Amino acid sequence: MKALAVIPTYNERDNLPDLVRAVLANPSFAVMVVDDGSPDGTGAIADGLSSEFPGRVDVVHRTGKRGLGRSYVEGLQRALAQHDADLICQMDADWSHDPKYLPAMVNACTAHDVVIGSRYLNGVSVVNWPLRRLILSTFANRYIRAVTGLRANDCTSGFRCWRRAALAALPLDRVVSDGYAFLTEMLFEAHERGARIGEVPIIFVERRMGSSKLSSGVLLESVLTPWRLRLRYLFGRP
C-alpha cells in the first residue's frame, strides 16, 4: 500500500532533513511538507529535499495567515486531490512523532479507518514534558472524552494514519478550529461517520531542537471546541 506523510512545518530547519530521510527509508512512503513561510528557511530546505528525492517529496509553500489547522486542511485536501496514496498520515516535524512507529500504524490500518499514534494507551508515555503540560494534556483528553463521547485515549495526538476513504469522507473545508482543537474536531467528524478508530502506542519525546508554538489562544479553543462539537451532535449542524 502506498502511503503519504503530511508534515506541517514552521521553523523546523534543524529537524526536517533527517526526519524526511527517516520517513522515506520506508519504500512505500512519500512526504508532503506544508510550510508556512518559515522565517528560518525551512521551505527552501524542503525544496532541496524534493530535488534530492525526485517524485517523493511534495512541498506546499503557504502564504497569508499561518496556522496549523489551516496547514493540515490545505495539505490533506491536496493529498486527496493530487496523490494516489492509499494511506495518508499526519505527523509533526520535530521528532516527537518518531517515524519508527509508522510501520505499526500502517499495519493497524488493515483493521481500522484511522490509527492514532497514542501517548496514553498504556499509562503515559511522554518524555521530557514539564509536569504542568502533562497534566494539561491528560486532563484535556479526559475532558474531551467526557464531553464528546469519543473513546480514544489520545484524541489530541497529531500522529495519525488515515485510510484514504475515511479521510475523503470528512468535511475538511468546514473544520473551523486550529491547533489541538482541529485534531479533536477531525476525529469527532470521523467518529460521527462510523470510522473505526484504532490506537498504537508510541513514546512521545519532546522536541530537542527548535521551539514549541503552543499558545494560550489555541488552549482556549481546545476548551470550547468539545462543547461546540457536542451541541452540534445534539442539535444538528447549523
Question: Which residues sit at the interface with ligand GDP, rule CB under 6 A?
Answer: 8-10, 12, 34-36, 66-68, 71, 92-94, 96, 207, 212-214
Nearest residue to ligand GDP, scored by beta-carbon proximity: 212
Partners of 5 in the β-ladder? 31, 89
Query: Least distance in Å: CB of 232 to ligand GDP?
Result: 25
Query: Least distance in Å: CB of 30 to ligand GDP?
Result: 18
> What are the Cα distances from residue 118, in Å, to 54, 98, 103, 158, 227?
32, 12, 14, 9, 23
Task: Indicate the helix (H) or strand (E) that contains 184.
Answer: helix 179-192
Q: How far apart are alpha carbons 50 and 42 in whole angstroms?
A: 12
| 159: nearest Cα among 15, 26, 6 | 6
Q: How far apart are alpha carbons 77 and 29 in whole angstroms?
A: 18
Query: Least distance in Å: CB of 97 to Mg ion?
Result: 8
**Complex with ligand GDP: residue 43 or 226, whichever CB lies closer:** 43
Residue 12 touches which of Mg ion, ligand GDP, none (Cβ within 5-8 Å per kind): ligand GDP
Query: Least distance in Å: CB of 206 to Mg ion?
Result: 7
Which amino acid would we find at residue 146? A
The only residue of 12, 35, 58, 94 in contact with Mg ion, by rule CB under 5 A: 94
Residues 6+ apart with CB under 8 A from 102: 3, 5, 23, 26, 29, 89, 161
**Complex with Mg ion: residue 121 or 205, whichever CB lies closer:** 205
Residue 71 touches which of ligand GDP, Mg ion, none (Cβ within 5-8 Å per kind): ligand GDP
Which positions lie near Mg ion, rule CB under 5 A?
A: 94, 96, 207
